[in-house]
Amino acid sequence: MADHRQSSDTPSSIPDDLIPEIISRLPARAVLRSRAICKLWRSIIDDDRFPHAHRRHQPHMPLLRLYRDGSLAPPELNPPHLRVRIEGIDLRARASQPVIRFAVAQEHKHAIESEEQRPRRDRNFRYIDPAKLSHPSAFDVHGSCDGVLLISHGWSIYAYNPATRCWADLPENDSTVIGFYVHRPSGNFHILLSNRLRRAEHWVFTMGHKVVQRRIPSPEFLSDQNRIRPACESPPALVSGNLHWLPQSFQSDRQLLAFDTVSETFRWMSPPNVDADGRALLELEGMLTMTVMRGERTVQLWVMPDYQQPAWFCKLLIEL
């Protein structure tokens, strides 16, 4: 059997080269506790490559954003708070798992408790200064990628890893988030933005050791009178390294908009040949999928089995 070298500050029964594989298969709460075991384990979890490795071994769970759940607020909080939480839905277990919880003071005159003062019995809470919010409910989820959430409060945008509870914030700007993805050639998280005022102007923010903002060419035929819908309203579907959006309200040809996350360029794609509008785009078993409503009680699932040779087929018809 091969001789595995071991670090002096790790458990002697675990070879060092197996530790990343073990940690990447743990649930988020266990990963968080594992940071306290030793320096080596902490360095593995804090490595920029860990979120992607961890995400590959976790079940895909749709996210729900919920408001005003009184059971979440610690009784020590005064005045009453607006509660916000994100839950991951495990479809196999038919159960939900808490991902992150917020409590926002509704009255600006009351100070928010500091990080050290907040209740220790539930460390999933995070308290947000209401003075930074345009409205107490100004909370949006813009997407998730490799286990990292992109969320915002008012004009402030944050990337958050629930497994490590690490935060990164972007400089405040006048842009709308339309996409969130990993740029595979560099391994960095990129955020695709549309200018709120000049809607035909698009930018990419690179999140790493340094935030870099870069302007990119906008989709052809897009003007300042129309826009790509925000990701919090119409999440794009990530399939084969491309983001995809449903036809925008201003389009007459009903083409799908696609964005290559490697070359970071836009293009247009043909939708299924149906006489009804798509209701949602999603990834299903690795395929680009569109849901189409036919009448009030019939749903069709149209799929593109081979992304390199685009052709749509009706995979499933559901009678409600």
Number of structural domains, the chain?
2
Instruction: Identify whether 118 is part of a domain.
Output: yes
Looking at residue 205, its pLDDT comes to 79
pLDDT in tens, the chain (320 residues): 344 444 545 455 777 778 888 888 887 778 878 888 888 888 888 887 787 777 776 666 666 665 554 454 454 444 445 566 677 766 666 666 666 666 554 433 333 333 333 333 333 334 444 444 444 456 788 888 887 888 887 777 888 877 777 777 777 777 889 999 988 888 888 999 988 776 567 888 787 667 788 888 888 766 656 678 889 888 899 999 999 998 866 666 678 999 999 999 999 998 888 877 667 898 988 899 999 888 788 899 999 999 999 899 999 998 87
Choosing from 169, 202, 235, the residue where a domain stops is 169
Looking at residue 221, its pLDDT comes to 66
Indicate which CATH number applies to the domain containing 17. Answer: 1.20.1280
DSSP string, the chain: -------TTS-TTS-GGGHHHHHTTS-HHHHHHHTTT-HHHHHHHHSTTHHHHHHHTSPP--EEEEE--GGGS-TT--S-EEEEEEEEEETTTTEEEEEEEEEEESSTTSPPPPTTTS-TT-TTEEEE-GGG-SSTT-EEEEEEETTEEEEEETTEEEEEETTTTEEEEPPP-SEEEEEEEEETTTTEEEEEEEESSSTT-EEEEEESSS-EEEEEPPPTT--TT--PPPTTTSPPEEETTEEEEPPPTT-SS-PEEEEETTTTEEEEE---S-SS-EEEEEEETTEEEEEEEETTTEEEEEEES-TTS---EEEEEEE-
Q: Residue 219 phi/psi, 5° resolution?
A: -60, 145
Give the C-alpha separation, 84 to 152, whole Å: 12
Looking at residue 121, its pLDDT comes to 33
Query: Is residue 161 domain-shared with residue 63, that is, in the same domain?
Result: yes
Q: What is the dihedral of CA 22, 26, 29, 31, to 10 degrees?
A: 20
CB atoms within 10 A of CB 88: 20
Query: Is residue 79 domain-shared with residue 149, that is, in the same domain?
Result: yes
Looking at residue 144, its pLDDT comes to 85
Instruction: Identify whether 290 is part of a domain.
Output: no
Looking at residue 249, its pLDDT comes to 64
The encoded tokens of residue 149 equal 């959430």
Residue 96's domain comprises 57-169
Of 160, 227, 154, whose CA–CA distance to 192 is shortest?
227
Query: Is residue 157 domain-shared with residue 70, that is, in the same domain?
Result: yes
Looking at residue 160, its pLDDT comes to 81
Give the C-alpha separation, 16 to 218, whole Å: 47
Instruction: Identify whether 138 is part of a domain.
Output: yes
Instruction: Identify whether 121 is part of a domain.
Output: yes
- Asked if 243 contacts 181 with a C-beta cutoff of 8 angstroms, the reply is yes
Query: Is residue 19 domain-shared with residue 96, that is, in the same domain?
Result: no
Give the C-alpha separation, 11 to 16, whole Å: 9
